[in-house]
Amino acid sequence: MITNSRSTNQHAQLVRLEKLQNEYGHSLENIHIVQHSDRRRMLEIETTSPIKESFSSDPWKEVSFICSPDMPKTRLGKRFIEKPLAETSVGNYWAIGASDEYLLAQEYENKQLTLFDRHGKRGISMTWHYDVVIRDIQWNHDLRQFFILLDRKLILFDPVTRLFQEITRITPYQSNTFRRCTCRNDRLFISYWCQESAIELIQISSWSFQQRWSSPMTCRANEFITCIRLNSKNQLALSIQDENNPLNRQFRFELRDLTLNTLHTISLDTDSGIFSRMTPLPDGCWALLNVDNNLVFILDEQGVVIDKIDRFPGPLYNIALIGEHTIVIRTVKKLLFYDVEFGEERQRQ
């Protein structure tokens, strides 16, 4: 059904419908345009099958009439090509992290940290007194605090009391700088910003250093770790960048156990761009961002690429999961909120 449509749009739709009828005349019939009270413009196609298919003319839903092999295959991928639940303006930077209820975002130019709820509504903003960029933001469920990683510091933020606490015992070794962190239960893993990246394990309850892994255990020579994440199965995911050929960078995704033994590894094929942000998903899969090419890769529990989405306008900066059902993607000066029912898809598989 098409409503609130100008005559030119109706004519264009009719031309497309006539073409569709000519090509699929044996399987489609009774294609027509009618008025409907819905505000959106919808096209209803009645086929010989009792099932009806509806296609939205919303710009976020440029769905082809012919099912393309490049169409998203996963529930999350299909949700990404639809209009977001909410779009919210935000400062031009990349750092975000999510709890069960909130998204915390750095707005660097305003020297603020801002909380957003799962519906994209802007909440309180706090002055950010550290004149440095944030490397990573992770949520610790046990402490109910955000872990904010800087180049050489770890800051805790309580969204209830709105208090910041610097953990002075956590400092980088030698002259290195931190890059990413991930935490669950009593474990905090921190990776470093350098080739042959090191990874450290910290016991959160005592803030005591437990172990440091270096190359070649973490990655090979001329490689560095661009992101690190821990899931609910105590699997550590690494995104690794190969710098042996800077003009043709190679990436791979690896799943490790808690002692960094490799469980699965897979190459991430792409012409260019950097995989520097990712998040575990409630269904056991992973979502990875190619931040230069506007791509989202979805990998299954064995690290196999099962979907690739390229429908986003503009560069992608970061990705986070609020609770179990809200994915947030940070783009240029925007936050995109998507509601996704991961559990239903998992039960059907």
DSSP string, 102-136: EEEEEEGGGTEEEEEETT--EEEEEE----S---E
Q: Tokens 């529990």: give the residue.
A: 301
pLDDT value for 271: 66
Walk me through the domains of the chain, giving residue ranges and CATH numbers.
7-56 (no CATH), 75-348 (2.120.10.30)
For residue 37, which of 11, 8, 2 has the smallest C-alpha distance?
2
Contact 99, 115 (CB under 8 A): no
Reading the chain (349 residues) residue by residue, the pLDDT tens digits are 434 444 444 444 544 444 444 444 433 334 343 343 343 333 433 333 333 333 333 444 443 333 345 688 898 999 998 999 999 999 888 999 999 999 999 999 889 999 999 999 999 999 999 888 899 999 999 999 999 999 999 999 999 999 999 999 999 998 899 999 999 999 999 999 988 899 999 999 999 999 999 999 999 988 999 999 999 999 999 999 987 777 677 899 999 999 999 999 999 877 667 888 999 999 999 999 988 788 999 999 999 999 999 888 778 999 999 999 999 999 999 999 999 988 644 444 4
Q: Which residues of 317-336 are buried (b: 16+ CB within 10 A; e: fewer)?
A: bbbbbbeeebbbbbbeebbb
Distance of CA 40 to the CA centre of its chain: 28
Question: Distance (Å, rounded) from C-alpha 315 to C-alpha 277?
Answer: 13
Model pLDDT, residue 2: 38
Of 325, 332, 278, nearest in space to 119 by CA: 325
Query: How many alpha carbons fall within 13 Å on the CB side of residue 118?
Result: 12
